[in-house]
Structure 1
Amino acid sequence: MDNILLKYMEKRYESKIIDPKKEMFCEGPVVTISRECGCTAINIANSLAAKLSAKTGKRWTVLTKEILERSAKELNLDPAKIEYVFNSMEKSTWDEILAALSSKYYQSDRKIKKTIAEVVRSFACKGNCIIIGRGGVVLTNDIERSFHVKLHAPLEWRASQLQKIYKLSMEEMLKYAEEIDKKREILRNYFNKEPLSTTVFDVIYNSKKLRDEDIVDSCIDLMEKKGVLGKQIVMG
């Protein structure tokens, strides 16, 4: 019974799933920043955007919550209605069925994720943007003028950084960091269709040992050498 209803629901409410990377050619330039929980990316992203804007003469923007808001708008939903997807939570079969039957605004999990992918891709195609999380590294990795960063650090250090924000015990922060890391990995793997290899990143920085300013300056130097900002320099 469950399967029959779910199949009916999917046929009625779900459009064909497409791969946004095959539907939309993108030139970039675009930067993605993935991070382990406790490694702050927003300050690095804002500083990087300011320096890139000054260097290129074009305005660079930082995107994170904007992706959620644009996706919700495309689906004609309140952002709160789709935020659960970023937390790697899914509706049960009966939740899906009841939502489909009771609301003309119903959208399935797969439809929401498809829309998120398309929104990320559309931002990347416009270029001059820095995307924090949201599966950006997977969805833009084929773009020639792209640069992909990952921030990591020892778990205990990350938990200590979280303590400064949440004022909770070390044990609680250790558990929280591990849970968030798993949720982010699940979303990336969903878009990638398999576990994501660290080889997709251009560079991985240790947030514990490097200052934000040093990370930003290093990114710009490597982006220039890779040709993301203009003419490519052959790296030997």
Structure 2
Amino acid sequence: MDTALFKYISDRIKHDQMAEDQSQGVNTQSKPIITISRTFGCNAEEICKGLTDHFNKELKASGSEEEPWIYVNKTILNKVSEKMGVDPHFVNNASTPEERDIVQFLMMTFSKDYNTLDSKLNKALRKTTNSYLTRGNVILIGRGGVVFTKNNPTSLNVRISAPFEWRAQRISVTKDISYKEASKLVKEMDEKRDNLMKFLDPDFKSEYFDIGFNRKTMNTQFIVNSIITAFNEKVEDTSDKY
């Protein structure tokens, strides 16, 4: 994408986000949320399943009438694609580089009308994400979730990463491609995910994350237990302050 165009869209989104937050008055401050951002090649499905199982057992044991915990990944992209008039089946089954671009940039680079797409895309993604944030008891996987929850005191923002070589090796095995092809894919996807975060928040900082894990050296159960502990301590600390 042209650099000047990217800067224009980024500036517009930053402005629109502030204006829309003020006009909508969406209150997510008391809603428990966990966001998980991961580098390409770091699977998070098992982690999310472990977290939802744990929190839902707690809700059941306490007799709480709160909404059950759920985790959301492609669901957000599906809803946004529907709002953008793109078939979700096409999005979920992207295979070519061009199709993967659509998945990663949420159809951004293929619109003929950039001037209206930046606002339309931003509103569609924010509206869909805010519906989950308003609900609470949600784990958001990827899709820039941390951008929407960075100021929420009852959210825990998690970053899962691993060394490049380890991720490339895993992708090589899971996709049955050569290590060279896998390395190229990992590099491309890392760049696209970085660009997506910058697209959602031009001032994005790694400090938005509360805690991080190395997927190469830490197993699923350790990460699940650590997230539970960190989340409970952050929520308890928040309740003491307010």
TM-score, normalised by the number of residues in structure 2: 0.76
Specify the alignment match of 1:34 in structure 2. 37
Per the TM alignment, residue 210 of structure 1 is displaced from its structure 2 partner at its CA by 0.4
Specify the alignment match of 1:158 in structure 2. 167
Specify the alignment match of 1:53 in structure 2. 56
Distance 2:117 2:152 in 1: 28
For 1:96, which of 98, 112, 120 is the aligned residue? Answer: 112
Per the TM alignment, residue 77 of structure 1 is displaced from its structure 2 partner at its CA by 4.4
Report the CA distance shift for 1:225/1:18 in structure 2 as closer, same or farther (over 3 A): closer
Specify the alignment match of 2:7 in structure 1. none
| Conservation of the 8 A alpha-carbon contact between 2:102 and 2:109 | no
Specify the alignment match of 1:43 in structure 2. 46
| Rg (Cα) greater in structure | 1
User: Does structure 1 residue 223 correspond to structure 2 residue 231?
Assistant: yes
Per the TM alignment, residue 75 of structure 1 is displaced from its structure 2 partner at its CA by 4.4
- The letter for the 1-side match of 2:200 is F
| Conservation of the 8 A alpha-carbon contact between 2:153 and 2:238 | no
- Which digits, 9 at most, give the CA deviation of each residue in 1:45-86, with x for residues without a partner? 111111111123351111011102222344454234798554
- The letter for the 2-side match of 1:115 is A
Specify the alignment match of 1:25 in structure 2. 27
The aligned runs of 1:60-209 (5 Å cut-off) are 60-75=69-84, 77-79=86-88, 80=90, 84-88=101-105, 90-91=108-109, 96=112, 108-194=117-203, 196-209=204-217
- Which digits, 9 at most, give the CA deviation of each residue in 1:7-42, with x for residues without a partner? xxxxxxxxx945454331212211000001111111
TM-score, normalised by the number of residues in structure 1: 0.78
Distance 1:211 1:218 in 2: 11
Structure 1 vs Structure 2: percent identity of aligned residues?
27
Give aligned pairs, total.
Answer: 208
Distance 1:83 1:60 in 2: 29
- The letter for the 2-side match of 1:200 is Y
- The letter for the 2-side match of 1:87 is Q
| Conservation of the 8 A alpha-carbon contact between 1:224 and 1:233 | no
Report the CA distance shift for 1:203/1:78 in structure 2 as closer, same or farther (over 3 A): same
Distance 1:138 1:18 in 2: 11
Report the CA distance shift for 1:83/1:155 in structure 2 as closer, same or farther (over 3 A): closer
- The letter for the 1-side match of 2:42 is C
Distance 1:136 1:231 in 2: 20
| Conservation of the 8 A alpha-carbon contact between 2:154 and 2:238 | no
Give the gaps of 5 or more residues in structure 1. 1-15, 101-106
Specify the alignment match of 2:5 in structure 1. none
| Conservation of the 8 A alpha-carbon contact between 1:121 and 1:140 | no
Question: Secondary structure at 1:204's aligned position in 2?
Answer: strand
| Conservation of the 8 A alpha-carbon contact between 1:158 and 1:177 | yes
Distance 2:47 2:77 in 1: 21
- The letter for the 2-side match of 1:218 is S
Per the TM alignment, residue 219 of structure 1 is displaced from its structure 2 partner at its CA by 0.4
| Conservation of the 8 A alpha-carbon contact between 2:73 and 2:141 | yes
Per the TM alignment, residue 188 of structure 1 is displaced from its structure 2 partner at its CA by 1.0
